[in-house]
Amino acid sequence: MIIAYIKRLEIKKTYTVEIKQKRTIRSLPQNRLYWLWITCIEAETGNNRIDLHEYFKSMFLIDEKICIFNTEINVKTTTHLDAKKFTEYLEKIQIFASTELSITLPDPEDLRWGEFESYYTEKL
37 CB contacts (<8 Å, ≥6 apart)? 90, 93, 94, 97, 105
Q: What is the pLDDT along the chain (124 residues), one digit of tens a residue?
A: 888 888 998 989 998 888 777 678 888 999 999 999 999 999 999 999 999 999 999 999 988 888 889 899 988 989 889 999 999 999 999 999 999 999 999 999 999 999 999 999 999 8
- The pTM (predicted TM-score) of the whole model is 0.77
- CATH number listed for the domain at residues 23-121: 1.10.3790.10
